[in-house]
Chains A and B, each alone.
Chain A
Amino acid sequence: QTVVTQEPSFSVSPGGTVTLTCGLTSGSVSTGHSPNWFHQTPGQTPRTLIYSTNTRSSGVPDRFSGSILGNKAALTITGAQADDESNYYCVLYTGSGIVFGGGTRLTVL
């Protein structure tokens, strides 16, 4: 079974920079997995931030960026703002289908 790993929680100061990661318990994440990143606030539907590793969705500010760092996908938020406080999910496309990570709860304080 393919398992996608994310940090359960992370904290960043307002104006700071944070990098969330997305890995596989078995193997490395590559652009071939087309990493997507979503964010979701409680009670709301998820919203796409990044697809195809590093393509920002329409309307997403450029302080959100996606990349591959080592053997993981990464989402970097620069100049964090209070309303970035949310749950962030990574999604990978694998031979077993679409796999969501467990999500990272980001706190801005």
Chain B
Amino acid sequence: QLQLQESGPGLVKPSETVSLTCSVSGGSISGSTYYWGWIRQPPGKGLEWIGSIYNRGNTYYNPSLKSRVTISVDTSKNQFSLRLSSVTAADTAVYSCARHGWGSSDWDWGQGTLVTVSS
């Protein structure tokens, strides 16, 4: 059974870069026909797609975040990562990783990790 687990710092200072990793078990990222994505949800608010990576290198980003986001894959560790730069309090959210298709399949989600931006 596919499992995804996010890891990273729970607290980040404003203007810094937050780096999160999603470890995948029960399935291989390498050669997968799925997308591997990041989604966030500010406390008490809705879901926002951050971006996804496909086929080891093709990346797709939310236009509103594109200038600050980098998603990459480490197939040797079966992990993919998110870097979000120049964070502000508005970036405080639960960040979740997921495996998904492009509309034509289920999403499999990690449990999510809360990232708080505060000095």
Q: A: which residues have CB within 8 A of B? A: 1, 33-36, 38, 40, 45-46, 48, 51-52, 55, 57-58, 87, 89, 91, 93, 96-103
Number of A-B contacts (CB under 8 A): 62
Q: 12 A-B pairs, CB-CB below 8 angstroms?
A: A1-B64, A34-B103, A36-B103, A45-B109, A51-B101, A52-B103, A57-B106, A97-B60, A98-B37, A98-B52, A100-B48, A101-B46
In residues 89-119 of chain B, which contact A (Cβ within 8 Å)?
96, 101-107, 109-112
Total interface residues on B, CB under 8 Å, equals 25
Q: B: which residues have CB within 8 A of A? A: 37, 39, 46-49, 51-52, 60-64, 96, 101-107, 109-112
Nearest-neighbour CB distance to chain B for A73, whole angstroms, equals 11
Docked pose: A34 CA to B105 CA in angstroms: 10
A92 closest partner in B (C-beta): B103
